[in-house]
Copies of this chain bind each other. A is one copy, B any other.
């Protein structure tokens, strides 16, 4: 790697000269930050024509996958790995656009259910097609390279307590 063209390789070189035992972790963290920034930019550009952020798309997609189109908001938070307040925010904005609606559960009024509307399902399909068209910003990666990303980051998620070992 040419240190002039790759700032992460250059940072790794700087770290290796001072704290060699920490250089690989520093480069890994910086790589995650940089990859996220690049991919989020690509994905939000692909979703912009649909007026969706990536978080809104994920919520819509999750509801579209269910048989009934309905999920408790709490369960959505777990599945989307986001804070309950973020789910409330995202689903609230989908509701304003007629893409989802919220109602208390008939079984337990403390539980709020989110349900995707037909317009929401239709938008989810079109947005998914656009992301596929764009290869999720990773069109040049082979399936094997993509699986290597998921595998390497699984160790990060285990280390951060996101998953059992």
Known: A22-B136, A79-B10, A146-B27. A32 touches B160 (CB 8 A): no
Instruction: Provide the main secondary structure of the chain A interface.
Output: helix
Encode A143-165 as 1/0 by CB contact (under 8 A) with B. 10111111111111111101110
Encode A123-147 as 1/0 by CB contact (under 8 A) with B. 0000010011001111111010111
Q: How far is the CB of A76 from chain B (nearest CB, A)?
A: 10
A93 to B138 CA separation, bound complex (whole angstroms)? 35
The answer, among B7, B26, B150, for a CB contact under 8 Å with A24, is B150
B residues near A12, Cβ cutoff 8 Å: 150
Encode A11-55 as 1/0 by CB contact (under 8 A) with B. 010100001011011111101111111111011000000000010
Is A81 an interface residue, CB under 8 A from the partner?
Answer: yes
Contact A5 B39 (CB under 8 A): no
The answer, among B36, B135, B145, B151, for a CB contact under 8 Å with A32, is B36
Is A6 an interface residue, CB under 8 A from the partner?
Answer: yes
Copies of this protein chain in the complex = 2
Chain A interface size, under 10 / 10 to 19 / 20 to 34 / 35 or more: 35 or more
The answer, among B38, B79, B160, B163, for a CB contact under 8 Å with A137, is B160
Contact B156 A149 (CB under 8 A): yes
A61 to B145 CA separation, bound complex (whole angstroms)? 32
- Residues of chain A touching chain B, judged by Cβ–Cβ distance below 8 Å, are 1, 5-8, 10, 12, 14, 19, 21-22, 24-29, 31-40, 42-43, 54, 65, 78-81, 128, 131-132, 135-141, 143, 145-160, 162-164
